[in-house]
């Protein structure tokens, strides 16, 4: 089985998480690094029962992880958009614009993250 790439952390940044995380009781929005993501991009609560179940359920895969972090961020962001709740048609265009800017925000967050 594929191993998680050290220094990636894409899974802890690109997707939204709806369950509570210590320090983020409402979960986290897409494109925002998890508060539990340490500067070396490892999880501060790995093995802690308060870690959301979804974190342990997400397994590395060649399709998702790809050759580098940028690929993984892009892939996970596209998945996030594809699985977002269906909206009324009138809201779809503005949502698309928001998605484009949140994607840019995601890229900015990644650029700010320590490597
Ligand atoms: S995208 Fe893959 S390598 Fe990166 S953090 Fe997630 S599982 Fe690990
Ligand atoms: S709790 Fe840990 S594994 Fe889950 S998103 Fe946050 S840093 Fe990543």
Q: How far is the CA of 37 from the centre of ligand 2 (A)?
A: 6
pLDDT tens sequence for the chain (115 residues): 789 999 999 999 999 999 999 999 999 999 999 999 999 999 999 999 999 999 999 999 999 999 999 999 999 999 999 987 765 554 444 545 554 444 444 443 333 333 3
Q: Determine the atom of ligand 2 nearest the C-alpha atom of 9.
A: 8
pLDDT of residue 109: 39
Nearest listed ligand to the Cα of residue 5 = 1
Q: Could you tell me if 11 and 89 are in contact, meaning their C-beta atoms sit under 8 angstroms apart? A: no
Say which DSSP state 12 is in: G
Q: Which of 2, 91, 14, 4 is nearest to 40 (CA)?
A: 4
Name the H helices within the chain.
53-57, 62-65, 69-82, 89-112
How many whole angstroms separate alpha carbon 25 and alpha carbon 54? 15
Residue of 28, 34, 46 to test ligand 2 pocket, by largest number of atoms within 8 Å of CB: 34
How many whole angstroms separate alpha carbon 10 and alpha carbon 99? 17
pLDDT of residue 62: 97
Nearest listed ligand to the Cα of residue 76 = 1
What are the φ/ψ torsions at residue 97 (nearest 5 degrees)? -65, -40
Q: Which of 86, 91, 84 is nearest to 31 (CA)?
A: 84
Q: Can you give the pTM of this predicted structure? A: 0.76
Structure tokens at 89: 């048609």
Give the residue, by CA position, lying nearest to ligand 1 atom 6. 11
């Amino acid at each position: 089985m594929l191993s998680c790439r050290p220094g990636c952390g894409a899974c802890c940044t690109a997707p939204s998480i709806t369950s509570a995380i210590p320090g983020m009781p409402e979960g986290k929005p897409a494109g925002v690094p998890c508060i539990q993501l340490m500067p070396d991009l490892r999880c501060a609560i790995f093995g802690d029962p308060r870690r959301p179940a979804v974190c342990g359920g997400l397994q590395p895969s060649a399709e998702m992880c790809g050759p580098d972090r940028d690929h993984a961020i892009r892939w996970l962001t596209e998945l996030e958009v594809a699985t977002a709740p269906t909206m009324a048609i009138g809201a779809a265009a503005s949502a698309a614009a928001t998605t484009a800017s949140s994607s840019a925000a995601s890229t900015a967050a990644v650029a700010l993250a320590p490597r």
